[in-house]
Structure 1
Amino acid sequence: MISVDEALTAILARCPVMPIVDASILDALGQVVAMDIRAPFDVPPLTNAAMDGYALRAADALDATDEQPTRLLVIEDLPAGRCAVKHVEAGTAIRIMTGAPLPEGADTVVQFEATGEGRGEPRANFVNIYSPPDHGINIRRAGEDLRLGDTILSRGTPLRPAEIGILATMGYATVPVHRRPRVGILSTGDELLAPGAEWSPGKIYDANSYTLSAMVTRAGGIPIRLGVAPDRVEALIELIRGADGLDLLVTSAGVSVGDYDVVKHALASLGEISFYQVRMRPGRPLAFGSLLGIPLIGLPGNPVASAISFELFGRPAILRMLGRAQLDRLSVRATLDDRVDNRDGRRSYYRVRLARNGDGYVARLTGPQGSGILRSMALADGLMVIDEGTLSAGPGDIVTVQLLANPGDSYRDFDSLPVG
């Protein structure tokens, strides 16, 4: 047997980073920047008003008081998106909206609340200023955020909504990213039916290809469902030959020691393959290599074992192909509220739910942990990891839980978990 870490290292070594392409900034959400992005202009490009108010010369209102306000002639009304036509001179002011470029001659913006307009006085050709403003107040200077040529997004930066907004602010409609890998998903087995087909005795519906397709999408790849291959080598190869442009192939079932494990036989005849027994539970059987030049990950057929194996090996492979540096999920420490045994020397992954407990978490099993009970994954917030050398864990023990979704990505918000 090999360890989980050894298996992952072998898989990642065969998954190259995808070529760089220009993608629409919205389509690039979740990918990473493939090269440094620099500011094409100063931000803000012009000195502008930071608040609604009146642009004026601070020196004109030095003596303003509640009893004797300074009275200034209003020479223009300036909305955002337009430059002033007139210049501010001694004794004048321009009414200005937030974001509008500061008029020539003005050095200060007095917010409405400190003027007669803010006190309910009717708007007229003059405005009263009731207190002396600080010179330069309520102004955003050109370039105070970014200077022309500054790096705004470094190579390798994940593109979240905030980064998409930055790119749009700078006028970028596209961004260089590593192309999303096209991942072929193939289930094998004569017993499988497509969802929607009429059930018959001895048959089961194909859940794995749909689960894996969703996991590929969530990881940032493009799933290409190839269908179900019957237990014949020729049928498997025909399905794979019919898929063009795959960057990775993921199969489920057919990698153990059964007489009808066609993936093994196909790989042996047309590819380079290593068959592993990984020191983990669930999901011990694993295959990795290439078939017809396509990197392949062969997962076990039991639904939970398949999903967990993809989480540990397939997801990091896709992230590597996308150019991501951070491949690991976030983990938290939690207090176990159940008992588990781990006496066969394998690293075990138990599906758990998390609840708040003061400043920490409580971990509870989702229920029965059989490798065919897919509901245990649907209920889980994370995978409780019990290492090979730990024989058991019980109530009160501190355990590591690998989250199945990073905070903010899940339908369960980790900042508002139930108190346990």
Structure 2
Amino acid sequence: MSNAATRPAGPDHLWSVDEHLEDILTTVRPLEPIELQLLDAQGCVLVDDVTVPLSLPPFDNSSMDGYAVRVADVAGASEEFPAVLEVVGDVAAGAAELTPVGPGQAARIMTGAPLPPGAEAVVPVEWTDGGLGEGPVAGMRARSLAPEGAEGHVRVHRPAEARAHVRARGSDVKAGDLALEAGTVLGPPQIALLAAIGRGTARVRPRPRVVVVSTGSELVQPGEELGSGQIYDSNSFALTAAARDAGAIAYRVGAVVDDADTLRATIEDQLVRADLLVTTGGVSVGAYDVVKEALAHVGDEDEPGSGIDFRKLAMQPGKPQGFGAIGPDHTPLLALPGNPVSSYVSFELFVRPVIRTLMGLKDVHRPSATATLRADKALSSPKGRRQFLRGTYADGEVTAVGGAGSHLVAALAHADALIVVPEDVESVEPGTDVEVVLLG
């Protein structure tokens, strides 16, 4: 993380969403590249272009179980007048020594096996008598076990064009071609390609390690019994899952009680395994806003360039936010509000882009679209605040789900989009085009 200071702003400055996001993204830097084994590199971003060292496939090979033949020998072949060819040998996948196919000859060949010298095409076993008259496949498999010198003959009932059922050398990729561009996320197909061209490792930016800490003495872990005034801790589960969905390796820390020393010690313990720390709760102006109390002055003297700035944003939900760096490595920390919807919306707007930036991705934001609002009545929005309402999006239309309350977890579970209402708009009429951020 860069040591660049945040822009000057007094404690009463109301930050816009764009200002806060820009301040974060101009500070966070991608993680340093490392060389990883292929399976360990899954989900990571490739750092360098990868060129193909050898053509794929590296030799002409058969796409069918059948017989390698010369085209002239099967020209005009039919059920009534089959071409009768001498079988001179078998060619299995991985065969090193290949028997040439001369005039009037054929070689039994398996899928993926190299085309022997002299052969020009492959006739599928279904076009033949299988070589022993036992049915096509049974005959072919039996012949593959026949003793040397007992190859016999095969009857071919159909003609074949040159190169029929032959996969040409380099038909997939050629030596020197660009296999994968830098910036590619390595999924299963990309890992398969790297393996196919002989690469056992890949130079990538690692998936960031994200530690999620929820705060609040009222929080109880799911599965335990609730006491008076207690609620289940859903935020840490939601944000950990969201971090993994964004591409991170995420760790969830159980809820920390409202004690500044305990929280500070917990965060310091987690620094060893964190590229990014995310807290939820305790960032407002209440008497028990433990995150502000614990982190407001962290690093001011002992760790120059670190410290957390708590600020107010012109948005709903999610007005209170915190951002900065902590620890000797200036690990970025984002402090999110405690209300479930506020926490999740804040993650999508601010934390997800940080994770994607750490990964080295170029496009760090969720896709957005313009949609027509479907509603029974106008949607209201507070003046001067950018509001993010939950919605369901389909076929260019969006419908709001739930209300504006920042505690409505059930409505959030049914949403796949955020409806964006700009700061200068106080009412959105049905049928109006609105911007939506697509979450799915």
Q: TM-score, normalised by structure 2?
A: 0.83
Amino acid corresponding to residue 274 of structure 2 in structure 1: L
Q: What does residue 145 of structure 1 align with?
A: 172
Amino acid corresponding to residue 55 of structure 2 in structure 1: D
Corresponding residue SS for 2:15: coil
Corresponding residue SS for 1:216: helix
**Does the 8 A contact of 1:84 with 1:101 survive in 2?**
no
Q: String of CA shifts for 1:166-208, please: whole Å, max 9, x gaps.
A: 2333344432221222222222223223334432222222221
Q: What does residue 35 of structure 1 align with?
A: 48
Amino acid corresponding to residue 251 of structure 1 in structure 2: T
**Does the 8 A contact of 2:205 with 2:359 survive in 1?**
yes
CA distance in 2, matches of 1:62, 1:203: 84
Q: What does residue 321 of structure 2 align with?
A: 286
TM-superposed deviation, 1:143: 1.9
Q: Could you say if the C-alpha distance between residues 91 and 387 of structure 1 is closer, same or farther in structure 2, counting changes exceeding 3 Å?
A: same
Q: In the alignment, is residue 321 of structure 1 matched against residue 334 of structure 2?
A: no
Q: What does residue 257 of structure 2 align with?
A: 230
Residue correspondence of structure 1 range 11-160 to structure 2 within 5 A: 11-64=24-77, 68-83=81-96, 85-117=98-130, 123=139, 125-160=152-187
CA distance in 2, matches of 1:7, 1:15: 13
TM-superposed deviation, 1:120: 8.9
Q: In the alignment, is residue 6 of structure 1 matched against residue 19 of structure 2?
A: yes
How much identity, in percent, do the aligned residues show? Answer: 42
**Does the 8 A contact of 2:296 with 2:310 survive in 1?**
no
Q: What does residue 262 of structure 1 align with?
A: 290
Q: What does residue 392 of structure 2 align with?
A: 353
Q: Could you say if the C-alpha distance between residues 202 and 111 of structure 1 is closer, same or farther in structure 2, counting changes exceeding 3 Å?
A: same
TM-superposed deviation, 1:283: 0.7
Q: Could you say if the C-alpha distance between residues 76 and 375 of structure 1 is closer, same or farther in structure 2, counting changes exceeding 3 Å?
A: same
**Does the 8 A contact of 2:391 with 2:401 survive in 1?**
yes
Q: What does residue 300 of structure 1 align with?
A: 337
Q: Could you say if the C-alpha distance between residues 120 and 363 of structure 1 is closer, same or farther in structure 2, counting changes exceeding 3 Å?
A: farther
Amino acid corresponding to residue 287 of structure 1 in structure 2: G
Q: String of CA shifts for 1:314-359, please: whole Å, max 9, x gaps.
A: 111011101111112223443322231124232221111234xxxx
Q: What does residue 210 of structure 1 align with?
A: 237
Q: What does residue 401 of structure 1 align with?
A: 436
Corresponding residue SS for 2:191: helix
Structure 2 residue aligned with 1:382, among 417, 430, 433? 417
Q: Could you say if the C-alpha distance between residues 120 and 383 of structure 1 is closer, same or farther in structure 2, counting changes exceeding 3 Å?
A: farther
Corresponding residue SS for 2:67: strand
Amino acid corresponding to residue 90 of structure 2 in structure 1: D
Q: In the alignment, is residue 199 of structure 1 matched against residue 249 of structure 2?
A: no
**Does the 8 A contact of 2:29 with 2:358 survive in 1?**
yes
CA distance in 2, matches of 1:343, 1:258: 22
Q: Could you say if the C-alpha distance between residues 172 and 5 of structure 1 is closer, same or farther in structure 2, counting changes exceeding 3 Å?
A: same
TM-superposed deviation, 1:30: 2.4
Corresponding residue SS for 1:320: helix
**Does the 8 A contact of 2:297 with 2:308 survive in 1?**
no
TM-superposed deviation, 1:289: 0.8
Q: In the alignment, is residue 391 of structure 1 matched against residue 426 of structure 2?
A: yes
Amino acid corresponding to residue 286 of structure 2 in structure 1: G
TM-superposed deviation, 1:249: 1.2
CA distance in 1, matches of 2:218, 2:78: 88
Amino acid corresponding to residue 165 of structure 1 in structure 2: A
Q: In the alignment, is residue 342 of structure 1 matched against residue 381 of structure 2?
A: yes
CA distance in 2, matches of 1:387, 1:25: 45
Corresponding residue SS for 2:437: strand
**Does the 8 A contact of 2:322 with 2:334 survive in 1?**
yes
Q: Could you say if the C-alpha distance between residues 249 and 121 of structure 1 is closer, same or farther in structure 2, counting changes exceeding 3 Å?
A: closer
Q: What does residue 276 of structure 1 align with?
A: 311
**Does the 8 A contact of 2:128 with 2:155 survive in 1?**
yes
Q: String of CA shifts for 1:366-404, please: whole Å, max 9, x gaps.
A: 223310111122111111222223332233223332221
CA distance in 2, matches of 1:183, 1:157: 21
State the number of aligned residues.
401
Structure 2 alignment gaps of length 5 or more: 1-13, 140-150, 300-306
Q: In the alignment, is residue 331 of structure 1 matched against residue 380 of structure 2?
A: no
TM-superposed deviation, 1:137: 2.4
Amino acid corresponding to residue 342 of structure 1 in structure 2: S
Q: What does residue 162 of structure 1 align with?
A: 189
Aligned Cα root-mean-square deviation (Å): 2.5
TM-superposed deviation, 1:47: 0.9
CA distance in 1, matches of 2:181, 2:92: 35
TM-superposed deviation, 1:261: 2.0
TM-superposed deviation, 1:132: 4.0
TM-superposed deviation, 1:59: 2.9
Q: TM-score, normalised by structure 1?
A: 0.87
